[in-house]
Amino acid sequence: MRFYVPEWDDAVDAHYDFEHDELSTLDRQERDLNYIWDIFEPETTPIDGVLISREQVEETDRKADRLAKYGVYDDPVLSVPNWLPTISDCGAWGYKSLPFPPYGNEEMLSFYKTLKVTVGVTIDHLVLGSGKEEGRLYLNERAFDGDMTKDDIPDAVTEVVDVMTDEWPEEWPAYVDEYEPTIRTDANSEIEPFTAADFQGEIESVLERLSQDPRAVYREDDAEFRYELTLRNAQEMYALYQRRDYPFRLMVAVQGWDSDSYARAAEEVLDIGYDYLGIGGVAGSPIHDVREIVKAVGKTVKAFERDHNTRVDSHVFGFAKTEGFETIGRSGMSSFDSASMLRSAWTGGGNYRLDHDERYDAIRVRYPSSSANIAESVEASLRSREVLVALRAYDAGGSIRDALNDWHSSSVDILPAVEHYLREHRHDNQFDERLLEVVEAAFREDFEYGRELQASFGGDLRRKLAKLLREDGPEDPVPFSQYSDLLKTADEIFDQFPHAPVLLNDSDIVTDYDRVWAIVREYATWVGDDDLLEEYQETLRERPWDRCDCPLCREESIDICIFRGNDRNRRRGFHNTRRFYDEFEEDLPKILVATKGTAKLSGFETVENYLRDEHPEFWEQTHDLPIAELGMLDASGVNEWWDDTPSMASFDPDRMAANIGEQAARYQYLFLQDDDGSIDDAVIEAAREKECAVETYSDPADLREQVLETCGENYVAGEDFLPHPPELDVDNLDILVIDQCSGSKDVPDNAPVFDADETLQFSREDLLARDNVPGIAARDLYTGRQQANVRDAVRRLRSNGHDVDRYFISAGFGLVGENDYLPPYEVTFSSMNVSEIRDRSGKLYIQEDLQKVLDESDYDVVFFTLSKDYYTSIDVDKMVQRVKADRIGVVFNRELVEDQFDNIESIPARTEDAKRHGTIVIGLKGLYMKNFAKQVDNLETIRPETIEELCRYVDDGPNQTTLPQEKS
């Protein structure tokens, strides 16, 4: 499994000066830039490839020309290392508002060849739905250059038609002629502006008129058009690709609007002949939609692989959610891409990541506002400088007060030195330049305190001085008073500093944390970030940068946890990507599977053909494996299954060991099939020296079994690693019931009843130890209708030989067993909003305790008989994933959960269902449980859907429905 990161010019200054907040050079073209692959060593780089979209390549003419000249691997700026594969696509999100992709198939093949990428992707068009009632109307934005604007389009149009405006290309590709010849105008022809008259009249007349207009495209069913156009491009591009010997692999992109449409598209393109399939259009989609789509496509691909004895790689575009790793792994995906981990460093909260569940807010130390006057700018710069000094002292464990005083003392001389320098040098030849950037750079380098001036007093002051230097000259001098006025203003502001040390005089401030918090709190309030105070406290208290071993946090320490400018924020993005990649490797291990080639290799065109014919048992057992990369071993290392065979086959053991060692550094496991012991020990040792575990097998079936076990326990659950509904024997079921507390409770008269605050402040044991506080078993305390029905069901199941454990989610005390004794209390989640439920659940450790029960047990069936608010308290969408893949989980009214997981069944329990069963909603889940207990022993096996049938069974007397799979 490979993770690709999109290339969006995410580079940092390799020699950035954190101490003074200075770039290494003010000219970006001269700057030494570091991308993520430059920051890390090859074996620890937290990506496996780079996605390069045409949209990004052509963002500027300079970049487009450079990449066209050098390609992505030899480009002096981008300089992607040769060991990182690259995927290039059209960037469909960039033209989603256009009626057609702006590129032709042959044009894109030529583009990929020019860029010298590893993989090129077919042209797709995002399926955005069919629009409103009357469909979708595309309008050329360049036709709004007259008096009419987009906002002037009548509501009568926009209310029934999805209007999409964008700047159309000057010339459309030739294929557009087949669909909309009216818009294929000459590139130099003038575009007539829209007028109000173009949109007046009955809506049908307006749309009919615009459908023939060269400035508009109208479609009634745009989703179907985009879907079919994407498939047509796949067909045509494959035919063009096969006619020539292109140096890249071709991936087909599929689109759709639901899991079925994606699966149908996958079937079509696989029949065309593609061996690499990309799922497009899911970026930003809810996780439940992505799971459904990936699962459907994965099953389609695996069925094709097994039917045709081949292998197909699959990619998910724009997806990087750790909670989806299980699905993309078991569905057989080969790769995915996302920039979300990088972007999360400067978008939203929780922008410093340790793992999926542990994130912190970087401390925002702001630059002055662009609209600030010089006095405001200098004050903001001095305040931010104080905070940075305090933060670094806190990080280093030094005296914060001393650090602040030292900074102030060293800054006292800066402004007088500036004035002296300007009087002596303002007419120097080095300042006789047209570009301000050049003048400022000369001032920065020549003036002794050039960097300190910006660090403390701000870039705005230095730039204003540089502007005066550019205008100044011996023949036409600028009045020195203009310099003096700027410096005087800065000096007056500086007289108010040091500001922060005064904050440390409070007697309550005794620790380094107290000191830094006093300074950060006051600064955050001053700049208007007081809504982040609680998050900042946690960051400073926990010091997460100390617990990260990535090279960025080791070298730059707390600066990675400071929100300030590109060079900190993007480095934090690189850090976040590294931490995400650690989770990725833990959940989806990096596995390489290979067998050694033979002299017959040269007789085959591809590695796949060779493996299938010469190593049929190995191929049969490995060609459909998930997660792993698969290939053939020779002196060059492992050649992947889709590669052409090498022109000159060599099996020199020294070269083989060297190359395998280099490859193995990127993997955690290497599985080798070696039935004759011909793989040299040096090859194995070379991989192990790179901390890659190596296992060899003579029997390919044993190898397959071990690979799946390494992937995770759910990969060996049942007969197939693909998600599938489990089938369980009914005899002696182990059942877990997660019930909830009820509003009605059996409490003795005159007994004290504890409230929400008391049940949080004191433990159960403390409350039970008080005088006159009775201890009541949870099974007896809760007397609601549901709880009574569940109690009866549990008794019946136990009497029939099944093992049943029952727990309650208590809003007062968290997760409690049915035999646990509780004091009387009155707390319910039903009276709380979502954030209050989550907060209280966290304080009661409900999720942690329930996860422990599920992880440390092996229940056959788990019933979550909870209402909506109690589902929130356990985060049910996440919790059901703790039910093992070969076991069954049962929820109620959670159809989205059922659609994502084959082993989870959601049973409707709403008003209409309650009426059908002659009860009310509040007791229906319990009644379902009684039905299950009554009927389950009539069957030999159960599947998820069987449980729903049992629960919803209604005995209608002589006309009753026969139960599924009834015992004879």
Residues 681 and 765 in one domain: no
CA distances, 239 to each of 110, 114, 245, 247, 755 (Å): 14, 20, 12, 16, 72
Which DSSP symbol is given to 22? Answer: B
Residues 267 and 214 in one domain: no
CA nearest neighbour of 392 among 571, 575, 566, 556: 556
Residues 384 and 472 in one domain: yes
Q: Look up residue 769 and give its two tokens.
A: 């130890």
Residues 825 and 869 in one domain: yes
Average the pLDDT over 880-898 and give the result.
94
Average the pLDDT over 539-552 and give the result.
97
744 assigned to some structural domain: yes
Single pTM value for the model: 0.90
CATH code of the domain covering residue 832: 3.40.50
CA distances, 527 to each of 381, 497, 856 (Å): 12, 17, 49
347 assigned to some structural domain: no
Residues 307 and 384 in one domain: no
Residues 651 and 687 in one domain: yes
User: Average per-residue pLDDT in the chain?
Assistant: 94
CA nearest neighbour of 790 among 806, 777, 774, 812: 806
Question: pLDDT, tens digit, for every residue of 30-44?
Answer: 899 999 999 999 999
Domain range for 692: 589-708
Question: pLDDT, tens digit, for every residue of 467-476?
Answer: 999 999 999 9
Residues 192 and 326 in one domain: no
| Number of domains composing the chain | 5
Q: CB-based contacts of 838: which residues, under 8 Å, 6+ apart?
A: 872, 873
Average the pLDDT over 949-953 and give the result.
94
Residues 401 and 282 in one domain: no
CA torsion sign for 87, 90, 91, 96 is negative
- The phi-psi region of residue 588 (left if phi > 0; otherwise alpha if psi is between -120 and 50; otherwise beta) is beta
Residues 750 and 839 in one domain: yes
934 assigned to some structural domain: no
pLDDT band of residue 321 (cuts 50, 70, 90) is confident
362 assigned to some structural domain: no
Question: pLDDT, tens digit, for every residue of 385-433?
Answer: 999 999 999 999 999 999 999 999 999 999 999 999 999 999 999 999 9
Average the pLDDT over 695-724 and give the result.
92
The predicted pLDDT at position 957 comes to 46
Residues 419 and 478 in one domain: yes
Average the pLDDT over 941-956 and give the result.
90
349 assigned to some structural domain: no
Secondary-structure breakdown of the chain: helix, strand, coil percentages, each rounded to the nearest 5: 50, 15, 35
Residues 378 and 327 in one domain: no
Check whether 967 has a pLDDT greater than 90: no
The predicted pLDDT at position 130 comes to 66
Which DSSP symbol is given to 606? Answer: B
Tally of CB atoms within 10 A around 213: 17
476 assigned to some structural domain: yes
385 assigned to some structural domain: yes
The predicted pLDDT at position 109 comes to 98
937 assigned to some structural domain: no
Residue that is last in its domain, among 220, 236, 268: 220
Residue that is last in its domain, among 528, 555, 575: 528
Check whether 222 has a pLDDT greater than 50: yes
The predicted pLDDT at position 462 comes to 97
Three-class DSSP category at 677 = coil
Check whether 964 has a pLDDT greater than 70: no
Check whether 958 has a pLDDT greater than 50: no
Residue that is last in its domain, among 528, 554, 570: 528
CATH code of the domain covering residue 317: 3.20.20.105
Tally of CB atoms within 10 A around 574: 28
Q: Look up residue 634 and give its two tokens.
A: 């020779």
Q: Is 120 exposed, middle or buried (0-12, 13-18, 19+ CB in 10 A)?
A: buried
Question: pLDDT, tens digit, for every residue of 828-844?
Answer: 999 899 999 999 999 99
What is the separation of C-alpha 875 from the centre of its chain, rounded to a whole number of angstroms? 19
Check whether 357 has a pLDDT greater than 90: no
Collect contacts of 182-190 with beta carbons under 8 A, ≥24 apart: 182/212, 182/213, 182/214, 183/99, 183/140, 183/214, 183/215, 183/216, 183/217, 185/214
Question: pLDDT, tens digit, for every residue of 581-637?
Answer: 999 999 999 999 999 999 999 899 999 999 999 999 999 999 999 999 999 999 999
Q: Is 599 exposed, middle or buried (0-12, 13-18, 19+ CB in 10 A)?
A: exposed
Residues 215 and 229 in one domain: no
What is the separation of C-alpha 90 from the centre of its chain, rounded to a whole number of angstroms? 21
Q: CB-based contacts of 691: which residues, under 8 Å, 6+ apart?
A: 665
Check whether 576 has a pLDDT greater than 70: yes
Between residues 306 and 967, which one has the greater pLDDT?
306
Check whether 966 has a pLDDT greater than 90: no
